Amino acid sequence: MIRFLLKGILRDRGRSLFPLLVVTAGVFLTVAFYGYILGMMNNMIRSNANLRHGHVKVMTRAYAQDIAQVPNELALTGVAALSDELRTSYPDLDWVARIPFGGLLDVPDDEGETRIQAPVAGLAVDLRTSGGPEPGLLGLAKILVRGRMPRVPGELLMSDELARKLGLDIGGKATLITTTMAGSLAMANFTVAGTIRFGIRAMDRTGLIADLADLRRALDMDDAAGEVLGLFKDGIYRSDQAAAVLRSFEGRYAGRQGEFLPAMQTLAEQPGMDIIIGRMRYATSAIVFIFLLAMSLVMWNAGLVGTLRRYGEFGLRLAIGEAKGHVYRTMLAESLLIGVLGSTAGTVLGLSLSWYLQVHGIDVSSIMKNITFLMDTVLHSKITPLSFVIGFIPGLLASLIGTAIAGRTIYKRQTARLFKELES
């Protein structure tokens, strides 16, 4: 019976082609859209992790208590040995040391007197090590507006908006006034090597990126850092693996007392990110549900219309003596076969597009020339086990339910009126 119905579907394009195309298109859009939403969520998490939080973050226990205040007086020491230990114990992650800092930027006039001052907040990262991961993690090449990357000691990158507000050009001099790790006053002279645009309003008003070695020297933080960030090498945050790293790391210091002992937090545990990740997951689920509902209604309507157009065929089959129940069951079987064929084809097409976007992505930096964001400008998708089956939900159920509802009229047909309908 199934073989007979399949031959009928394949040979009679007039009755099967339109429903098959609708199911294929609907499932393709469902799978591709689901993968894109997951990819977009991963891009947002990746941008936050690369810029500030990491997938896991190591700091002192005291620093973790006041992390929002960025207390460098509570920073880690012996960072070189700690970083080597982390790389050996957790080779699946890249480990980078950073120093978030704040202070006052003093810009002198031609006579060396203060011309203008502005509060600044910055990040010290390893910019000058050849082949280092930091420029790539922060996407500095993409957000560079003027100038170049720092090459020699004493050079930094400054927000383009801040530089224009202070009247600083490339090569301009400024003095950073801040406090050392010990709490004493510190002043360090810097040269603007380039300007960048973060795309984040608060950072564009006050943002600086300096080399880690320069800030260590200025803040008396030799072999110290506020934070050591760990990021998975493929850039994808995995909460279960991050939690496993956290448990293993905490086990090393279990039972030991001291506010300057290292502590670790995962991305989801850090201030603000727990809310963002939770809301993003709810938002993603809501968007996917709404899209599934919309595609289900479209395919339901297609199944309904396709069945209504075949009333003449059903009347003829009833007139020659075929039982109403048999006609109804064959309709449902045909709808199920069309759903399986269309869902399979749509899933293959959707997964193919999602795979391409996941591996290669689409670079949209050309349309962001005037709006440069400190985030991945390559759109990626993500394939999960659910991607293989999510298209079958509307592909099978919607078309089957639409046919089932439309086919109920078969039981209402009056055999006495069939010949009159067939004559018209």
Amino acid letter at 252?
R
Q: How far apart are the first and last CA of the chain?
A: 32
Q: Tell me, yes or no, whether 66 and 203 share the same domain.
A: yes
Q: Tell me, yes or no, whether 371 and 392 share the same domain.
A: yes
Alpha helices, H only, 49-94? 61-65, 79-89
**Residue numbers of the domain that contains 115:** 56-234
pLDDT digits (tens, 9 = 90+) for 368-401: 544 444 455 677 788 888 889 888 877 787 777 7
Average pLDDT over the chain reads 81
pLDDT at 126: 92
Answer yes or no: is 63 within a domain.
Answer: yes
Q: Tell me, yes or no, whether 222 and 340 share the same domain.
A: no
Amino acid letter at 227?
E
Q: Tell me, yes or no, whether 147 and 183 share the same domain.
A: yes
Answer yes or no: is 244 within a domain.
Answer: no
266's enclosing H/E stretch is strand 262-266
Q: How many CB atoms lie within 10 A of CB 248?
A: 12
> Domain boundary at 184, 215, 234, which?
234
Answer yes or no: is 35 within a domain.
Answer: yes
pLDDT digits (tens, 9 = 90+) for 352-363: 998 988 888 776
Q: Tell me, yes or no, whether 30 and 106 share the same domain.
A: no
- Which residues contact residue 232 at a Cβ distance below 8 angstroms, ignoring those fewer than 6 apart? 55, 92, 93, 94, 238, 241
Q: Tell me, yes or no, whether 78 and 34 share the same domain.
A: no
Phi, psi (5° rounding) for residue 293? Answer: -65, -45
Answer yes or no: is 256 within a domain.
Answer: no
Q: How far apart are CA 241 and CA 384, in angstroms?
A: 16
Residue 181 near residue 72, CB atoms below 8 Å: yes
Answer yes or no: is 366 within a domain.
Answer: yes
Answer yes or no: is 253 within a domain.
Answer: no
Q: Tell me, yes or no, whether 139 and 66 share the same domain.
A: yes
Q: Tell me, yes or no, whether 12 and 133 share the same domain.
A: no
What's the domain count of the chain?
Answer: 2
Q: Tell me, yes or no, whether 286 and 156 share the same domain.
A: no
Token pair for residue 311?
């009333």
Amino acid letter at 337?
L
Q: Can you spell out the DSSP letters for 308-322?
A: HTTHHHHHHHHHTT-
Answer yes or no: is 257 within a domain.
Answer: no
Q: Tell me, yes or no, whether 168 and 128 share the same domain.
A: yes
Q: Tell me, yes or no, whether 64 and 42 share the same domain.
A: no
> Domain boundary at 207, 234, 261, which?
234
Instruction: Work out the widest C-alpha separation in the chain, in whole angstroms.
Output: 108
pLDDT digits (tens, 9 = 90+) for 301-345: 665 665 556 666 666 666 676 676 777 777 777 778 878 888 899
Answer yes or no: is 368 within a domain.
Answer: yes
Q: What global pTM score does this model have? A: 0.69
Q: Tell me, yes or no, whether 219 and 297 share the same domain.
A: no
